[in-house]
Amino acid sequence: MSMLKGIAASNGIAIAKAYRLVEPDLSFEKREVTDVEVEIKRLQDALLVSKQELEAIRDQARVDLGADKAAIFEAHLLIVDDPEMISPIKDKIKAEKVNPEQALKEVTDMFISMFEQMDNEYMRERAADLRDVRKRILSHLLGVKIVNPSTIAEEAIVVAEDLTPSDTAQLNRKYVKAFTTNIGGRTSHSAIMARSLEIPAVVGTKTATDEIQDGDLVIVDGLKGEVHINPTQEAIEQYKKEQIRFEEQKAEWAKLVNEKTVTADGQHVELAANIGTPDDLVGVMNNGGEGVGLFRTEFLYMGRDELPSEEEQFESYKAVLKGMNGKPVVVRTLDIGGDKELPYLHLPKEMNPFLGFRAIRLCLEEQEIFRTQLRALLRASSFGHLKIMFPMIATLNEFRTAKGILNEEKQKLINEGVQVSDNIEIGIMVEIPSTAVMADQFAKEVDFFSIGTNDLIQYTMAADRMNQRVSYLYQPYNPAILRLVKMVIDTAHKEGKWAGMCGEMAGDEMAIPLLLGLGLDEFSMSAPSILRARSQILRLSKKEMEDLAKKALQMSTTSEVLEAIKTTIK
Ligand code: PEP
Ligand code: MG
């Protein structure tokens, strides 16, 4: 048995066999072959296995993901069977005496570049299909395994170098019991998604993919940030007990689902949830969310090949607003960029994607995308209590321009006779230090602030939130961060506005006492954290937390602050 230490990214304990989600090595050399018949037989075998595999994946996808997701595998099957594709490969092997790998590459390269040059969007997508199928056939020729997260069909713990948010969205929760990655931090989006999916995760282990083989028995301890590989029977038994204890604790918290969140000295704060899609509403309800404090709409744009239409978006926003039954829903406009990519936008690669062309910067430039989203939101506004917020605002001008565009779309809809709520609050994420510092000016113009500490901490400390080597600098309790948070809350209150927080800090057990003391009005977190936070806040006195916050603001290091929190709440 061996153990890896990583960052505890999502609570809970899972025990299952490992499934490595690792890009295979599909490199090969061109070579001259002597027995052409043997090589053609190798190609035919690879085609046959690919076909059988695709049929099985398609059937499974129909059951788990629905007919339209399964259709993509139907298209792949047509390629494997297409004589116009296969015959030239065989001809090449015969005529040029090259190995099937090389013949496959040359013929498919020719078709791919032909498809890619066509004007027709449909044909360009066929190029992507062909690449996928080629990879599958090649993997069988070379005898290496290719992986696809959506096709995992037995209980497993996913082991990967990293998971993109769209990989994470495709994980089938029924089978994927946990995941562990080499890189990433607590606020990388795969970690955030693991928390809303309620699957345990340990990220930033550095070496998980080197040390864990397919089929190894693995324990992921998302409470301590440990991964145990091929544990002893004794360790397994002990962890099974831990699992039960964790479930019992959750059952205790569940009793608070319909309670209000009021401190021991009678102050109410709002506990809201962060969501990514309308499907997450079940979790918000089951965990007693008093609202949605952050709807990360970019997830509606992921795991697909084109932008969602206004109509599709309208249906999603309407579903969330109606589902929340009049409770507030803060929808954040598209925040693409950083670790959240949309391949179909074909944006150029950047040196520093977290500092690049993203979020509101992209929306103000690509206004059609922005306007479509705003129209969908405005049309949905009459179905519930909508608040809109813009991400990554760095200057007042950006806010004014974004709000101007929103108002233009609103007026157009009203002129068209569409019903739009006249009661929509417009706010911003405070996640860039310039905005925190200028909060007094912003507070005069916005209706609310939501502090995005995931980014605010990375930008203030100049420490990439994805990079585990600098994760020691991800310090929510650093007095520098606390002072910025205080400035934002105080300036909001001075102008009669409210201040919330939707970064991961809002759900952090150690940070909650401080945030309460700093006067935060709304705490928005992954739904499964809400009941634990409520149980904690019910026991805290706001007055005492104010004293704690006051002292913390004058301290000089994170560890002093942490010590002070521990002594106050113990
Ligand atoms: C944040 O930056 O704190 C935030 C909530 O946004 P995201 O994590 O999506 O960047
Ligand atoms: Mg952010």
**Shared fold status for 36-142 and 255-569:** no
Count of C-beta atoms within a 10 Å radius of residue 33: 19
Q: What is the 3-state secondary structure (H, E, C) of 400-469?
A: HHHHHHHHHHHHHHHHCCCCCCCCCEEEEEECCHHHHHCHHHHHCCCCEEEECHHHHHHHHHCCCCCCHH
Distance CA(127)–CA(145), nearest Å, equals 22
pLDDT of residue 64: 64
Mean pLDDT for 537-559 is 97
Structure tokens at 321: 């607003």
Beta strands in 445-541 (DSSP E): 448-451, 498-501, 522-526
Asked if the model's pLDDT at residue 195 lies above 90, the reply is: no
Per-residue pLDDT tens digits for 351-370: 999 999 999 999 999 999 99
Q: Which atom of ligand 1 is found nearest the CA of 453?
A: 3
For ligand 1, residues with CB inside 6 Å are: 187, 294, 296, 335, 431, 452-455, 502-503
CATH fold of the domain at 255-569: TIM Barrel (3.20.20)
Asked if the model's pLDDT at residue 65 lies above 70, the reply is: no
Domain spanning 2-22+152-243 has what CATH number?
A: 3.50.30.10
Tell me the pTM: 0.80
Could you say which architecture CATH assigns to the domain 36-142?
A: Orthogonal Bundle (1.10)
pLDDT band for 23, please (50, 70, 90 cuts): confident
Residue of 189, 228, 363, 385 marked active site: 189
Which of 2-6, 23-27, 258-262, 431-435 has the lowest average pLDDT? 23-27
Per-residue pLDDT tens digits for 305-338: 889 999 999 999 999 999 999 999 999 999 998 8
pLDDT of residue 186: 81
189 is catalytic: yes
More confident residue, 387 or 196: 387
Question: Strands 201-203, 13-20: parallel, antiparallel or unpaired by DSSP?
Answer: unpaired
Asked if the model's pLDDT at residue 290 lies above 80, the reply is: yes
76 is catalytic: no
Question: Cα dihedral angle (455, 530, 295, 325), rounded to 10 degrees?
Answer: -160
pLDDT of residue 166: 66
pLDDT of residue 231: 97
- How high is the mean pLDDT of the chain? 93
Q: Which atom of ligand 1 is found nearest the CA of 455?
A: 2
Beta strands in 133-213 (DSSP E): 156-160, 176-181, 201-203
Of 389, 455, 529, the residue with max ligand 1 atoms within 8 A of its CB, to mutate for a pocket test, comes to 455
- 47 φ/ψ angles, rounded to the nearest 5 degrees: -65, -40
Q: Kindly list the domain boundaries of the chain, sorted by start residue.
A: 2-22+152-243, 36-142, 255-569
- Work out the angle at residue 87's Cα, subtended by the Cα atoms of residues 85 and 88, and round it to the nearest 5 degrees: 75
Strand partners, 220: 14, 227
pLDDT of residue 127: 82
Closest CA to 500 of 477, 481, 478, 525: 525
Per-residue pLDDT tens digits for 475-491: 999 999 999 999 999 99
pLDDT of residue 174: 87
- 151 φ/ψ angles, rounded to the nearest 5 degrees: -105, 10
Structure tokens at 120: 């027709």
- Of all ligands present, the nearest one to the C-alpha of 504 is 1
Mean pLDDT for 189-211 is 89
Do residues 277 and 299 lie in contact, with contact meaning Cβ atoms separated by under 8 Å? yes
**pLDDT over 70 percentage in the chain:** 98
Indicate the helix (H) or strand (E) that contains 554. none
Of 431, 459, 524, the residue with max ligand 1 atoms within 8 A of its CB, to mutate for a pocket test, comes to 431
Q: Please enumerate in sequence order all residues whose Cβ is within 8 A of that of 132, keeping only pairs 6 or more positions apart, or say none.
A: 76
Q: Which atom of ligand 1 is found nearest the CA of 451?
A: 3
pLDDT of residue 323: 97
Which of 59-68, 121-130, 168-177 has the lowest average pLDDT? 59-68
Do residues 503 and 450 lie in contact, with contact meaning Cβ atoms separated by under 8 Å? no
